[in-house]
Structure 1
Amino acid sequence: MSIWWSLHLRREAASVPLARRLLLGTMETAGVDPEVSYDLAVALGEACANAVEHGGVGGASSGYRVTAYVDGEKCRIEVTDSGPGFARTREIRPARPDAEHGRGLCLIRELADHVHIGSKPGRRGTVVSFDKILKWRDGSPLPAV
């Protein structure tokens, strides 16, 4: 069995906890280990916060999309915005200790098993996708096959 959902959200700070709560509810219902769920929720929050802050030129109305897939032993999450895009040549470096911003992408890389940051061919915007191998609680409705 697999689960997937997709949301189109306004670029507003209030959208970030909404996406996190939906993900955590999905993980709880499926029986995913809470530590894995928490890692995914933090990574999703960082990706959404980046989309809200940097993901468009038309204000909050430009929106962004969050899609989550739970299939077998893996969860994949994609956050897609319509902003100016992410330069492929830009290296992701840890923020300075006194910096107020700049930790999100590094945090996502630490919490997920596989991360891809780029653009969809021929389109504007950035796609942040990340995967994590799932661990299941005993008696989960969707145990790994």
Structure 2
Amino acid sequence: MSVQIVCVHCDAINRLPQARDPKAGKCGKCHKALFDGHPAALTTARFRKHVANSGIPIIVDFWAAWCGPCKAMAPIFERAAAELEPRARFVKIDVDAEPQLSAQYGIKGIPALFVFQDGKIVANQAGLADINLLRRWVETHGAKAAA
């Protein structure tokens, strides 16, 4: 069996055997690591490809550079990516750069955190969160085979 992983560098869709260590996985197209322990900044088109094609949950931080709570959330989200990948993919969406995406999901306040699994929203929260919330989301929705 394998799990489908979208490369954050080139957006190629990869199949990673579940028996293999996901942290050692490399993209078949660009040959870069499939997981680097950092949140990926995505555009609307890239975000849609990741959500539609990922076999692991996508945890999203909708944020803006001018937002004080977003600045406070950034190191927490970075730490979560370093600690919890590859059980989930962590991505950031700049609401100023991608207003149509934030409108699509009804983002009224930021930071806004969402979990997407199988293309659907399975959890969300508005406002600053601690790392324990992100850990609980990964425990609840994360890829068990990638642990």
TM-score (norm 1): 0.29
Larger Rg: 1
Higher relative contact order (CA 8 A, sep 6+): 1
Relative to the length of structure 2, the TM-score reads 0.29
